[in-house]
Every structure is written in C-alpha cells, then in structure tokens.
Amino acid sequence: MPVAKTSAAKSPTGKTKSQPKPVVKASRPAKPKASKTKAAKGGYDPVAPERVKDILNRLDQRYPNVRCALHHNNAWELLIATILSAQCTDVMVNKVTPGLFQKYPMPQAMAAASQEELEPILRPTGFYRNKAKSVVGASKAIVENFGGQVPDEMDKLLTLPGVARKTANVVLGSWFGQAVGVVVDTHVHRISRRLELTKADDPKTIEQDLMKVIPQPKWIDFSHQIIHHGRALCIARRPKCAECPLENICHAADKTWSTVEIHKAAQP
C-alpha cells in the first residue's frame, strides 16, 4: 500500500524550511489559599508572643518588685483582707483590718464571734453583713477542717465560705508563692480587655485567656503590676494615656491620647 508523502515547504532559495515549534504557554502557579490566621487578615495579632513579651517587659520596668497592696502578716490575715476587698478599695480595707485583727488575732477568735459583733467593724468596707457572715464562716471552716491553718491548695481554699478563685489566687500567689492562676480583679478585668489580651467579660474566662498567653512564671507579678497600673495610670475614667509606658502598643477604644490606630473592639 503506497504511503502518502508529506511535502516540506520550500523557501524561494529552494531550501526546505523547518516547521516552527509549537509555543507552550507556561501554566500559572496556583494561588495560595488565604491564610486564616489573624496575622494574614491584617498583620496584627494582639496576643502574639512578641507583643505579650513587650507588655511584660514594660510593666517590669515601670513596676518592679510589686507586692500585694493589702496589709497582712500571715495567710489568714491575707485571706480575710481579700474577702473584705470585694467591692471596696484596698486603702479602706487597710484602715479596717488593724482594729479587726487586734480584736480577733487568730481564726479561733473570729470563729467564736457572732456575725452581729463583726458588722459594725466591717461596715466601712460595704456589703458588711455578707462579709461578716463570710469571715466568720471561713474562720470556722479553717478551725474545724484544717486545724486552724489556711490551706495551700486551690480545691481546699474554694471550700471556704466567701472564697472564690480570685481570693484563692491572691492567697496562693502572694503568701504561698504558687502560680496556680491569675488574679482577675476589676483592674485586671478592665485593662486586659483594653490591651486586647481577652475579649471575654466573665472573670473565669478572662483568667483562662490570660493563662494561655502569659507565661506561668509571670502570673503572680502580672496581676500585681496590672493592679498597680490601674490605680496609677490606666484608671477607669479618663486614663492617663500620655504618661503610660504601654501607650504605643495599646489600641484601646477609650484612650484619651494616642499615637497609634484605635481599635473599636478594644473595649474595657
């Protein structure tokens, strides 16, 4: 069977021209999928380790060697003072406790007192009826269940009347030196939200959020420093932003002066 011949094109000179090679278009690389990380959405992550470290370093410089502001000589006095500090300033508690501890120097003495006896002494701290009930109940529980000694374990502290995680964290951190959690008082609640370290409004959730981003060795100092910061500069109304060491890394919506972008979601 004859095979059909293909003829090559010839140039005017008679030479055969080679057929041009087909052009192959390079395929475009697939577009990378958009990252779902906070950094990809705007390059800003408020809980990035570098930012948190910067916050902690600045707090260390401004408030070195901070201590609990409540005056106390032992774990029991600190426990009672912390119970009294609810909805009350530490300054007022420190005015009340010297006379209180002079009259009731040990848990046994307070456990034997009546609620009515304590109410006039505790009146300046506010909510004095509930507080009188709590300190008597806590003293009785310490005497009856723990041999007159304040327990140094979270679970045991939480069995005492009037004691929640905040009070337990204060006692464990400030007296026993145990970083079991983060104290979340009104200052820590407010400033942690301003600094965008949490979006939560519930103290328990705020504590869990802070425990995730603050290194554990800094839990105790962080609480003390933020409390001092809240009294000195980052006050609830009209914070003194122009004097704040954190100003240029703080984007709080209620800043009174700012050199950086304001974030509407950074609400106290």
Q: What DSSP line would sit under 140-167, residue for residue? A: HHHHHHHTTS---SHHHHTTSTT--HHH
Same domain assignment for residues 126 and 161: yes
Contact (Cβ atoms closer than 8 angstroms) between residue 246 and residue 80: no
In 3D space, the residue among 45, 58, 66 whose CA is nearest the CA of residue 246 turns out to be 58
List C-alpha distances in Å: 153 to 70, 109, 128, 208, 215: 21, 23, 27, 18, 21
Domain boundary among 174, 198, 227: 174
In this structure, which long-range contacts are made by residues 156-164, counting pairs with CB atoms below 8 Å and at least 24 apart in sequence?
A: 160/79, 161/133, 161/134, 161/137, 162/83, 162/130, 162/131, 162/133, 162/134, 162/135, 162/137, 162/138, 163/79, 163/83, 163/134, 163/138
- What pLDDT does 43 receive? 83
Task: At 66, give phi and psi (nearest 5°).
Answer: -75, 155
198: in domain = yes
Distance from first CA to last CA of the chain, Å, rounded?
Answer: 93
Same domain assignment for residues 93 and 128: yes
Number of folded domains in the chain?
2
Q: Domain with 54 in it: what CATH number?
A: 1.10.1670.10
Same domain assignment for residues 162 and 251: no
- What pLDDT does 10 receive? 43
Q: Which residues are catalytic?
A: 166, 185
Same domain assignment for residues 87 and 156: yes
Stretches in the chain below the pLDDT threshold 70: 1-42
8: in domain = no
39: in domain = no
Write out pLDDT tens, residues 46-60: 999 999 999 999 999
Domain boundary among 174, 202, 232: 174
Same domain assignment for residues 82 and 167: yes
Contact (Cβ atoms closer than 8 angstroms) between residue 116 and residue 101: no
99 Cβ neighbours under 8 A, 6+ residues apart: 121
Same domain assignment for residues 116 and 195: no
199: in domain = yes
Write out pLDDT tens, residues 256-266: 999 999 999 99
Q: How many CB atoms lie within 10 A of CB 222?
A: 25
Same domain assignment for residues 105 and 148: yes
Q: Domain with 86 in it: what CATH number?
A: 1.10.340.30
Residue 10 forms beta bridges with which residues? 16
> What does the DSSP 8-state code read for residue 249?
G
34: in domain = no
Domain boundary among 126, 159, 174: 174
Same domain assignment for residues 155 and 241: no
187: in domain = yes
Distance of CA 177 to the CA centre of its chain: 18
142: in domain = yes
- What pLDDT does 40 receive? 38
| Gyration radius (Cα) of the chain, Å | 33
Same domain assignment for residues 100 and 228: no
152: in domain = yes
- Structural domain of residue 157, as residue ranges? 75-174
- What pLDDT does 116 receive? 96
Same domain assignment for residues 98 and 223: no
- What pLDDT does 42 receive? 61
Same domain assignment for residues 219 and 250: yes
Q: How many CB atoms lie within 10 A of CB 47?
A: 16
Same domain assignment for residues 164 and 193: no
Judged by phi (left if over 0) then psi (alpha if -120 to 50, else beta), residue 23 lies in beta
